[in-house]
Structure 1
Amino acid sequence: MKTIRPFLIALTLILGFSSCSDSEDDPIIIDDNPLSDYVMLTAIVSNTHSVEIYSEAQQAFTVGYNELFLRIKDESSDTYISNADISWKPMMHMTEMMHSCPTSSISVTENASVYKGYAVFQMPGNSEEYWEMEVEFTIDGQSYYVSEHIEVTAPTDGNQRVSVFMGSDETRYVLAMMPLEPEVAVNDIAAMLFKMENMISFPIVENYRVNIDPRMPGMGNHSSPNNEPLVYDAESKSYQGKLSLTMTGYWKINMILKNESSEVIKGEEVTDDNESSSLYFELEF
């Protein structure tokens, strides 16, 4: 017994530790939603599927550039669809007309059940005019369609991040600033430029140039050094440049848009007699 008892005690301890380890593992629930840390802006539900639309940082659909992520759920099996073909069309229902907005195609991410794209809303909705998100998708050769009214709001800080204008060439353009976290430094700045081909089509404009002149209206309208114009980058299909911010506060980023022939399409130089351009973005930090 003197030799058997320690063995039994050791065996009991081993089994006990094994049992505790199993019981600790059992309650762990793995969250398999890759967008669990994102904000779900809406879920468009039909009889068979629902389309969930997420944002990484925004709390709502907002006027300007919106990077969005989508998932499609099969309502009968409560599972998410991978590798579907998806297209979308936001439509603004105005009192006398309808129009869409610049959007990207929708592509699959590294997670096959998550899709992404962007939409640039030119204006907010109101009590009489509203945006509707239309989504079409194909799964195993079967096509589906869902739509829902969505609320698009103006930026909470009131600053302008998108400009819609008629150029000197009689073409209507949409110029949108991409997300920027400004610092007192020389910042990377990017924007996207589209032309309005018709009420539905907004193709990207390539190889123009956006000169920038940031000013602080509340501080004598002073500018800053080391700014670089936004030039077209074919890989990202955006315009990229450098924005110098020398202090915190409200900045107006005055701009001049030029075409491939260096002709001014929109905007004016800032001078002693002209405090700002008619083409600009705003930011405050």
Structure 2
Amino acid sequence: MNQNIFFIIAILFAVTSCTVDKTDYEAEISTEVTEHFEFTEVLSIDKGEFEIRIEALNGTFYKGYNDIRLKIINTQTNAIINASEVTFLPIMTTTTGNTVSCPHSYNLEYRSENSYYSGYAVFVSESNSSSHWELYLSFTVNNQKHTVTQHVSVAEQANKNLGMTMFTGHDNEQYIIALIAPQKPKIAENELVAGIYKYNQAQNESETFPDPSQFSYSEADGYTLLLDPRMPEPSMGNHSSLHNQDLTQQSDGLYYGVVNYTMTGNWTLNFMLQDQNAQLVKGTAVSTDFTPGIEGEKSELYIDILF
């Protein structure tokens, strides 16, 4: 895998002031921030006697975190198949032939109550003229393994509260942090949810493609994500807020904390990531000084949001 591809350049959002007389944030919120709760079909794949249906929120794969639901249908009976060893591997290929994956659930988990396979993918880049994404799927029915390869489109994430960042830590490991919730924050204390993932460097090159061991990520277990939210606009003086809580990992593998937004506008979530031994992996402390008229200082590890 070409390691340089890990460092995808993030799209820079236009910087606007959070003062009411300069920007109508109510209008911006109403047009740009849409909450999605319904899973609808992203694509359907015909595999002879089987049909594979993949669903995601709003029927779209976005750059960043995506919950995924997969169903396998018998095309003769229209019955849902309870297959085994259902795997999911997204791979992006550039025009130069380099390949890279992203954090994902390789072995999908069957949810018997709803008869679908559950997983996630954190797409690190949207589809464009220089790169494209393909899904490599497999499943076993009656001891016979079936494989499917399907091109998919990944859209830019328009919701500026669901950003992500990629970086190399002081431990020389490669990490990805992806925001998951809230989709639409409130002027209040909000539960902040994020996924933190680490790339598993392959020990040996493989002549088989696609070899899952060459594209493996894992959840970063037992870390702590220290949080310092601030409004970096010069007019806001880089002020913070009270009652924020650092993010810690819960039983579902995701990280939960609290961010207190005191007003709408541009906010920066400044982070410091610590490992299981409280050793700093990435991030710098931000000065607590109030700096009106000066653009606010940011940690070396941060994600900008807007609501």
TM interval, short-chain normalised: 0.7 to 0.9
Q: Secondary structure at the match of 1:278?
A: coil
Could you tell me how far apart the structure 1 residues matched to 2:115 and 2:147 are?
Answer: 18
Whether the aligned pair in 2 keeps the contact of 1:82 and 1:112 (CA below 8 Å) is no
How far residue 160 of structure 1 moved from its aligned partner, in angstroms, is 6.0
How far residue 146 of structure 1 moved from its aligned partner, in angstroms, is 1.1
The aligned residue for residue 133 of structure 1 is: 135
Q: Secondary structure at the match of 1:72?
A: strand
How far residue 158 of structure 1 moved from its aligned partner, in angstroms, is 5.2
- Structure 1: unaligned runs, 5 residues or longer: 1-36
Q: Secondary structure at the match of 1:178?
A: strand
The aligned residue for residue 200 of structure 1 is: 215
The aligned residue for residue 221 of structure 1 is: 238
Decide which moves more: 73-82 or 128-137.
73-82
Q: Secondary structure at the match of 1:80?
A: coil
Whether the aligned pair in 1 keeps the contact of 2:53 and 2:72 (CA below 8 Å) is yes
Paired amino acid for 1:279: L
Could you tell me how far apart the structure 2 residues matched to 1:157 and 1:189 are?
Answer: 15
How far residue 112 of structure 1 moved from its aligned partner, in angstroms, is 5.3
Paired amino acid for 1:224: S
TM-score, scaled to structure 1:
0.80
Paired amino acid for 1:85: E
Whether the aligned pair in 1 keeps the contact of 2:70 and 2:116 (CA below 8 Å) is yes
Q: Secondary structure at the match of 1:102?
A: coil
Q: Does 1:264 align with 2:286?
A: no
Whether the aligned pair in 2 keeps the contact of 1:178 and 1:192 (CA below 8 Å) is yes
Deviation per residue, 1:199-249 (Å, 9 max, x gap): 41111111111111111123222111011111122x111221111111122
Structure scoring higher RCO (CA < 8 A, sep ≥ 6) equals 2
Deviation per residue, 1:146-185 (Å, 9 max, x gap): 1111111221245662111111111111111223131111
The aligned residue for residue 115 of structure 2 is: 113
Aligned residues: 247
In structure 2, relative to structure 1, the CA distance for the partners of 1:38 and 1:203 (3 Å cut) is closer
Could you tell me how far apart the structure 1 residues matched to 2:97 and 2:273 are?
Answer: 31
Could you tell me how far apart the structure 2 residues matched to 1:282 and 1:51 are?
Answer: 37
TM-score, scaled to structure 2:
0.75
Whether the aligned pair in 1 keeps the contact of 2:102 and 2:124 (CA below 8 Å) is yes
The aligned residue for residue 16 of structure 1 is: none
The aligned residue for residue 3 of structure 1 is: none
Whether the aligned pair in 2 keeps the contact of 1:253 and 1:281 (CA below 8 Å) is yes
Could you tell me how far apart the structure 2 residues matched to 1:84 and 1:111 are?
Answer: 16
How far residue 256 of structure 1 moved from its aligned partner, in angstroms, is 0.8
Q: Does 1:38 align with 2:39?
A: yes
1:179-198 aligned within 5 A: 179-181=181-183, 182-198=185-201
1:245-260 aligned within 5 A: 245-260=261-276
1:8-19 aligned within 5 A: none
Paired amino acid for 1:226: H
Whether the aligned pair in 1 keeps the contact of 2:160 and 2:306 (CA below 8 Å) is no
- Structure with greater Cα Rg: 1
Q: Secondary structure at the match of 2:241?
A: coil
Paired amino acid for 1:190: V
Could you tell me how far apart the structure 2 residues matched to 1:162 and 1:210 are?
Answer: 14
Whether the aligned pair in 2 keeps the contact of 1:45 and 1:146 (CA below 8 Å) is no
Q: CA RMSD in A?
A: 2.0
Deviation per residue, 1:38-66 (Å, 9 max, x gap): 321111222232211112x3341111110
Q: For 1:174, which of 169, 176, 190 is the aligned residue?
A: 176
Could you tell me how far apart the structure 1 residues matched to 2:159 and 2:190 are?
Answer: 20
Deviation per residue, 1:133-157 (Å, 9 max, x gap): 1110111212111111111122124
- Structure 2: unaligned runs, 5 residues or longer: 1-37, 202-213
List structure 1 runs of 4+ shifted beyond 6 angstroms. Answer: none
Paired amino acid for 1:108: Y
